[in-house]
Amino acid sequence: MRGLLAKDGYIIFKQLKFFLVLIVAFAVIPNSSLSGFSIVYTAMLPMTVMAYDEQSKWDKLARMMPYSNRDLVLSKYAVGYIGMMGATLITFISALVCMAFGDGTASERLPAILISMSGGLLLEAIGMPMMLRFGVEKGRILFFIIAIAVTIASIVSNSDSIGRDLHMPAIPGLPLLLLVTAATVVLNLISIAISTRLYRTKEI
């Protein structure tokens, strides 16, 4: 697993420097919608890595190496999880710094982090089986449609003004946010099982 993550990490840092800079920039901006977007956006990292793998015929080589199907699938999920944790950590630290300097609105970013994490986890849970089932090219289109929908929902949820204009309720309380986040974690466990089965039967 460590070797697979090292390989994927090399691809990301070699090919996606601008992508990473963009994520960090959005994460530190004192705006709930933009920082939330950076968290959700990292859920697209596995898709990009899978596209490079398909172009280089990596899957054919991986089948001949001592990796289980589960390890190969989990490594892709882990790329998204690590990216989301990194963006979340940067956003959280940025919010704490803003609060330390007296920015009262920074506290609104804390529940927004949970909303964005839930969005990213949901995107990961739906997107990964889709990529394996339909392939990178077809799956990418469906993935982007879902990503746009999740991002818009996250932005709307994080924006009080938009919420009032659309007559939507305010950001839900912490217990409900934790429950939603826990539900997306469970969905990811189910998604991993589905993706492992799909990868096992995938023709290379």
Question: Is the whole-model pTM more than 0.85?
Answer: no
Taking alpha carbons only, the member of 104, 93, 112 closest to residue 154 is 112
Q: What tokens were used for 184? A: 């997306």
CB-based contact 14:66 (threshold 8 Å)? no
Among 54-63, 144-153, 178-187, top mean pLDDT goes to 178-187
Average pLDDT in the 181-195 region?
Answer: 90
Taking alpha carbons only, the member of 65, 110, 86, 64 closest to residue 12 is 86
Distance of CA 6 to the CA centre of its chain: 19
Task: Identify the residue with better confidence: 133 or 143.
Answer: 133
First-to-final CA distance of the chain: 21
The confidence score (pLDDT) of residue 166 equals 39
Tell me the one-letter amino acid at 162: I
Q: Please report which confidence band the pLDDT of residue 170 belongs to, taking 50, 70 and 90 as the band edges.
A: very low
**CA 144 – CA 20 distance, rounded (Å):** 18
The confidence score (pLDDT) of residue 203 equals 57
The confidence score (pLDDT) of residue 164 equals 43
Distance of CA 118 to the CA centre of its chain: 9
pLDDT for 165 beyond 90:
no
Task: Identify the residue with better confidence: 166 or 14.
Answer: 14
**CA 128 – CA 77 distance, rounded (Å):** 8
CB-based contact 130:12 (threshold 8 Å)? no
**CA 16 – CA 157 distance, rounded (Å):** 29
Give the model confidence (pLDDT) of 105-125 as tens digits: 556 667 777 888 888 888 888
